[in-house]
């Protein structure tokens, strides 16, 4: 099990290039290969999965498929906090069938392109382009490291997002 603590900052398209330069030149973050992700989030139709804070997903990440269950552990809104359980799967259709048998019959899909940066081996930064939403910087680390990183990037006063992309997509649909 992995404990996940992260935040997102929306990045205007015209500031994306400057952010990448800042990450590489000023922060000395190591840029890793760009990846393409397809994510399928599963929910129960009665809303209990959301109420209980249990979020299964299947992700295809540059051809590698995983099943992850995220469990919400904190009601604080300042950071996105989850316990994360992940296993590799070799049969996408069977994994979908298993989730549906367990009652997770509502499936929501989104895709993103992700440029990952590693900094100090303790901070993972991802510049995501989410289809239909735009660009976001996601920072995953301890709370202290997140705050330090935001300050060094000059983003400490930007609006923080402590939601999953599927939640942001649903919010956009409601507007």
Q: DSSP 3-state assignment of 163?
A: coil
Output the average pLDDT for the chain: 93
pTM (predicted TM-score):
0.91
Residue ranges per structural domain of the chain: 2-174
Element (H, E) at 82: strand 80-88
Residues 120, 7: Cα–Cα separation, whole Å? 18
State the greatest distance between any 2 C-alpha atoms of the chain, in Å, as a whole number. Answer: 50
Is-contact 113 103, C-beta < 8 A? Answer: no
Nearest 5 degrees, angle CA 124-CA 125-CA 127?
Answer: 150
- Report which secondary-structure segment, H or E, holds 154: none
Mean per-residue pLDDT, 71-78: 77
Q: For 47-63, write each residue's pLDDT tens digit.
A: 999 899 999 999 999 89
Distance separating alpha carbons of residues 39 and 28, to the nearest angstrom: 30
Which tens digits make up the pLDDT trace of 96-152?
999 999 999 999 999 999 999 999 888 999 999 999 999 999 999 999 999 999 999
Q: What ranges in the chain are assigned the alpha helix state H?
A: 16-21, 48-52, 92-101, 143-153, 165-174
| Token pair for 98 | 């298993």
Say which residue the tokens 């989730």 belong to. 99
pLDDT at 75: 63
pLDDT over 70 percentage in the chain:
98
Confidence of residue 76 (pLDDT cuts 50, 70, 90): low
Instruction: Tell me the pairing of strands 64-72 and 54-61.
Output: antiparallel
Given a contact cutoff of 8 angstroms between Cβ atoms, the answer to whether 9 and 155 are in contact is yes
CA distance 93 to 68: 15
CATH number, domain 2-174: 2.40.320.10
113 or 80, higher pLDDT = 113
């Amino acid at each position: 099990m992995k404990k996940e603590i992260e935040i997102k900052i929306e990045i205007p398209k015209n500031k994306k290039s400057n952010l990448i330069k800042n990450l590489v030149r000023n922060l000395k973050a190591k840029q890793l290969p760009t990846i393409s992700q397809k994510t399928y989030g599963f929910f129960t139709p009665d809303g209990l999965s959301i109420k209980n804070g249990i979020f299964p997903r299947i992700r295809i990440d540059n051809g590698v498929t995983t099943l992850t269950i995220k469990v919400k552990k904190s009601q604080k809104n300042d950071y996105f906090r989850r316990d994360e359980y992940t296993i590799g799967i070799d049969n996408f259709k069977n994994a979908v069938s298993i989730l549906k048998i367990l009652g997770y019959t509502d499936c929501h899909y989104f895709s993103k392109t992700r440029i990952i940066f590693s900094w100090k081996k303790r901070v993972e930064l991802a510049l995501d382009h989410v289809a239909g939403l735009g660009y976001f910087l996601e920072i995953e680390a301890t709370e202290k490291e997140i705050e330090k990183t935001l300050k060094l990037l000059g983003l400490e006063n930007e609006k923080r997002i402590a939601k999953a992309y599927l939640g942001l997509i649903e919010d956009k649909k409601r507007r």
